[in-house]
A and B are shown apart, each in its own frame.
Chain A
Amino acid sequence: MGEKLLMKGNDALAEGAVRAGCRFFAGYPITPQNEVPEYMSWRLPQAGGAFVQAESEVAAINMLYGAAATGTRSMTSSSSPGISLKQEGISYCAGADLPIFFANVVRGGPGLGNIAGAQGDYHQSVRGGGHGDYRTFVMAPNSVEEMGNFPRRCYEVAERYRVPAMILSDGVLGQMMEPLEFKFPEVDPKTLKAPDWALGECRGRKNRLVGSYDLNEGRLEILTVNRAQRYREIEEKEVVFESRQCEDAELVLVAYGVAARAAAAALKLARAEGIKAGLLRPITLWPFPKRQLLELAGRVKGFLVVEMSLGQMVEDVRLATEFRAPVHLHARPSGVTPTGEEILQKIKDVMKAGKGERACCK
């Protein structure tokens, strides 16, 4: 803690997880997240943990299912196609109320797509991703420092509410180097209280079961509804966002992750020209900062959502603002990072056109 380091985003993510108490990692190679398993392969044994290069993403998430069931802070990471493969296992973990942690270093899609940073996996992340009714706590870092510091928060939320937690990153954040500081004391997992559901030695207690099925009529519904109460609590208590210059803003940019950095650059340019813009950056994508957006909707002329996808988060912004203000979109899907200049141009277009919606996807 306190030391300034220069690290690559993926390395910071891995180191942050280990410092947060991660002692098991299973993964499979896929670009642009390869540094995470590579880092873990030497770092975890050093910390007294275990690393497994799995035979597939499917195997990796199931190794995580087993490790998490023992109460071990564990992690897997992948990139878009690999995360799709993991979804069945994530659903099982959600159904078994296991606190797992994983990261998606998103690349351009659909299909094999490309290996550039993208944000096309937003829906998959915030709507569940796998089968069945469940939610995943989703954090979207926008710097190497946040890559390194968010794993700890993910473990804490995952364990408090017994839900899957993930970091939605992208190929830009994963690959770039920046100075960072780990802003929390290193967690020794031995000092954490062993959960009362963890599998292991049943000496002196009743045997425990971890699973996600219940075939008795109506019982699964009760389990699912009870779990949803925890989801509501997460929505009330765990929203994290960043707000810049929204106080007097007429147009508020809404962007997350690396797109928010481009939006921040545009904000600076706009303010320099006297345009009253602001920036709302959701840091948790689920839970989404609905209340803050609705409050802004009552006093701004409009929103401009900047996304490196066809426009996915824009739907959540519209739902959150209850259509009280126009919501515009600047979309650069499939591995293109927007520039501050092009966003500034879009801001000007939007403000000139006044009301009305126009999706730009050049």
Chain B
Amino acid sequence: MLQVTKRPESLLDVKMHYCPGCGHGVAHRLVAEAMDELGIRERTVGVAPVGCAVFADHYFNCDMIQGPHGRGPAIATGIKRSRPGCVVFSYQGDGDLASIGMAETIHSAARSENITIIFINNAIYGMTGGQMAPTTLVGQKATTCPTGRDPRVNGYPIRVCELLAQIEGAKYLERTSVHTAANVLKAKKAVKKAFQCQLEGRGFSLVEIVSTCPTNMGLSPLDACKFVQEKMLPQYPLGVFKDIEGGKHDASRN
């Protein structure tokens, strides 16, 4: 019998806690499939964030560490510099990466740490219950901007890939999404390319995955996908922002 699909070895056979229609489950699978295909599971160490994906440490079948809010890239730095032979990734949400952890994000890119960041952008705080994120759209409602994000009061959303693109140390940056099957496949390729960037010692790589949070967007799973297509993608255009080839200084080795 031909087996057409199976659980990736890099994903543990446990029940995930994510809400119906949430993009995290898909993103986890993409990371796991990339690890399987590259044969790196046994030497990968992942960093789980604070936020909905805090439990990612119980889902991936590789060594995992869970750290303080926003500090994933710093933790990943410590691991990579101590164990340069390991593949290290930090999995982070938008509040974690672009708000409290922005300094760590920018400086790990500036140092061109040879790590990979998987950045889930769903424009809202999930775990804490729908507060305004640094990526919440203008006009989008959140529990801390109940009438919608007003730029005069709440400022503007941050475009992470565009911001990091100007940093020399950022070697691979791509924004993808998981709101349609075609985009899921593209996101998978991007994740794999980011890991390859690290395996080749080229330096800092980040894949932004525009994702859904039906629970806190206050939408059905299908409408959340529509929201991504119609509202989020105009603000967060998909594509490769950086893909610097060639031998690079490997910051993980002194």
Question: Is A74 a contact of B78 with CB atoms below 8 Å?
Answer: yes
Question: Is B79 a contact of A59 with CB atoms below 8 Å?
Answer: no
**A294 CB–B CB distance under 8 Å:** no
**A300 CB–B CB distance under 8 Å:** no
Question: Is B82 a contact of A211 with CB atoms below 8 Å?
Answer: no
Question: Is B103 a contact of A24 with CB atoms below 8 Å?
Answer: no
Could you say which of A51, A56, A200 contacts B254, with CB atoms under 8 Å apart?
Answer: A51
**In the complex with contacts A45-B254, A74-B82, A203-B43, A62-B74 CB distance below 8 A:** yes
> How many Å lie between the Cα of A66 and that of B78 in the bound state?
5
Please provide the chain B residues from 55 to 103 with a CB less than 8 Å away from any CB of chain A in the complex.
57-58, 60-68, 71, 74-83, 85-86, 103
**A94 CB–B CB distance under 8 Å:** no
**A202 CB–B CB distance under 8 Å:** yes
**B107 CB–A CB distance under 8 Å:** yes
**B47 CB–A CB distance under 8 Å:** yes
Instruction: Return chain B residues, CB-CB under 8 Å to A56.
Output: 103
Instruction: Return chain A residues, CB-CB under 8 Å to B106.
Output: 55
**A5 CB–B CB distance under 8 Å:** no
**B37 CB–A CB distance under 8 Å:** no
**A65 CB–B CB distance under 8 Å:** yes
**B13 CB–A CB distance under 8 Å:** no
**B42 CB–A CB distance under 8 Å:** yes
Nearest B residue to A89 via CB reads B68
**A269 CB–B CB distance under 8 Å:** no
Question: Is B78 a contact of A63 with CB atoms below 8 Å?
Answer: yes
Question: Is A62 a contact of B254 with CB atoms below 8 Å?
Answer: no
Which range contains the number of B residues in contact with the other chain? Answer: 35 or more
Question: Is A201 a contact of B47 with CB atoms below 8 Å?
Answer: no
**In the complex with contacts A52-B81, A74-B78, A66-B65 CB distance below 8 A:** yes
Nearest B residue to A54 via CB reads B74
**A348 CB–B CB distance under 8 Å:** no
**Shortest distance in angstroms between B89's beta carbon and chain A's nearest beta carbon?**
12
**Shortest distance in angstroms between B53's beta carbon and chain A's nearest beta carbon?**
13
> How many Å lie between the Cα of A75 and that of B61 in the bound state?
29
**A58 CB–B CB distance under 8 Å:** yes
Please provide the chain A residues from 52 to 89 with a CB less than 8 Å away from any CB of chain B in the complex.
52, 54-56, 58-60, 62-70, 72, 74, 88-89
Instruction: Return chain B residues, CB-CB under 8 Å to A49.
Output: 254
Instruction: Return chain B residues, CB-CB under 8 Å to A92.
Output: 67-68
Nearest A residue to B107 via CB reads A55
Give a binary string over A76-111; 1 marks a CB under 8 Å from any B CB, 0 the rest.
Answer: 000000000000110010001000000000000000
**B132 CB–A CB distance under 8 Å:** no
Please provide the chain B residues from 183 to 203 with a CB less than 8 Å away from any CB of chain A in the complex.
none
Could you say which of B43, B79, B111 contacts A66, with CB atoms under 8 Å apart?
Answer: B79
> How many Å lie between the Cα of A200 and that of B86 in the bound state?
7
**A153 CB–B CB distance under 8 Å:** no
Question: Is A202 a contact of B68 with CB atoms below 8 Å?
Answer: no
Nearest B residue to A204 via CB reads B42
**A224 CB–B CB distance under 8 Å:** no
> How many Å lie between the Cα of A199 and that of B60 in the bound state?
14
Give a binary string over A204-245; 1 marks a CB under 8 Å from any B CB, 0 the rest.
Answer: 000111111100000000000000000000000000000000
Query: Which of A24, A58, A96 has the most chain B CB within a 10 Å cutoff?
Result: A58
> How many Å lie between the Cα of A89 and that of B78 in the bound state?
13
**B243 CB–A CB distance under 8 Å:** no
> How many Å lie between the Cα of A200 and that of B45 in the bound state?
6
**Shortest distance in angstroms between B11's beta carbon and chain A's nearest beta carbon?**
11
Nearest A residue to B42 via CB reads A203
Instruction: Return chain A residues, CB-CB under 8 Å to B78.
Output: 24, 26, 52, 62-70, 74
Nearest B residue to A91 via CB reads B68
- What are 30 A-B interface contacts by the 8 Å CB criterion? A24-B78, A24-B82, A26-B74, A52-B78, A54-B107, A55-B106, A55-B107, A62-B75, A63-B77, A65-B71, A65-B74, A65-B78, A66-B76, A66-B80, A70-B82, A70-B86, A74-B78, A89-B68, A200-B45, A200-B83, A200-B86, A201-B85, A207-B62, A207-B63, A208-B63, A208-B64, A209-B58, A209-B66, A211-B66, A213-B54
List A residues at the B interface (Cβ < 8 Å): 23-24, 26, 44-45, 49-52, 54-56, 58-60, 62-70, 72, 74, 88-89, 92, 96, 199-203, 207-213
Q: A65-B67, A65-B68, A199-B65 are in contact. List 18 more A-B contacts (CB 8 A).
A: A24-B82, A26-B78, A51-B254, A59-B77, A59-B107, A60-B74, A63-B78, A66-B47, A66-B78, A66-B82, A67-B79, A200-B43, A200-B86, A209-B58, A209-B63, A209-B64, A210-B66, A211-B66
